[in-house]
Amino acid sequence: MTETIVELITDYGIYVIFASAFLSCLALPIPTSLMMLTGGAFVASGDLDAWPVGLSALAGAILGDQTGYLIGRVGGGTLVARLSRSPTRAAVLKRATDLVDRRGGMGVFLSTWAVAPLGPWVNFIAGATGLSWLRFTVGDILGEVIWVTVYIGLGYTFMDHVTVVAQIMTDIVGLVVTLVLAAAATLWIRGVLRAKAKARAGRL
């Protein structure tokens, strides 16, 4: 995988970084994080300049997110229903919906870097559920700046260990996703228990 990405960046430079960032934000299975780590390593070796690499990744990610939001806005509930036909996608969409419903623009911000696996689905859901474009865009841009900076920076710093860093970051993101979902479930359970307690008190 790493060798293929190195070859792609060698041949196409920042254009392949832009394309991978754009397409991954539309839920296509593209290893963009590894692509950016490798891009950072190319910057460290002097083969690419930092600003073009960073801006191409950032532009691709933001445009991809905006496209996903627009698709969700146009497709609405019909799109969500179609995507939910797969049990696996239905579960992911449920998590994305919970994140947007509870956190709004902050949920979008977190989905771009802290819980990145949910990112593309949050884009669709944010558009489909009518989250305002301004709130979506502010959270999106701030989050993508963090995501791009972290991964390119890590690739630059650990240029000789890109594959190892990629695996470590994957494990960390997985842990963060688990913790966020556990926290959301805890808050939901507390809300249900409080509602039941109030209902009982009202009957007395």
In sequence order, which residues have a C-beta less than 8 Å from that of residue 29 and are 6 or more positions away? none
State the pLDDT at residue 68: 97
Q: Among candidates 94, 83, 84, 138, which has minimal Cα distance to 112?
A: 138
Mean per-residue pLDDT, 6-13: 91
Token pair for 168: 């470590």
Alpha carbons 193 and 28: distance in angstroms, whole number: 39
Q: Is residue 135 very low, low, confident or very high in pLDDT (cuts 50, 70, 90)? A: very high
The average confidence (pLDDT) of the chain is 84
What percent of the chain clears pLDDT 70, i.e. is strictly above it? 77
Cβ proximity of 40 and 169 under 8 Å: no
How many Cβ atoms are within 10 Å of 181's Cβ, its own excluded? 15
Alpha carbons 182 and 151: distance in angstroms, whole number: 26
Token pair for 115: 């819980």
State the pLDDT at residue 144: 96
Q: For 91-106, what is each residue's pLDDT tens digit?
A: 899 999 999 999 999 9
State the pLDDT at residue 119: 94
- The segment with the largest mean pLDDT, out of 39-43, 66-70, 178-182, 188-192, is 66-70
State the pLDDT at residue 172: 46
Q: Is residue 161 very low, low, confident or very high in pLDDT (cuts 50, 70, 90)? A: low
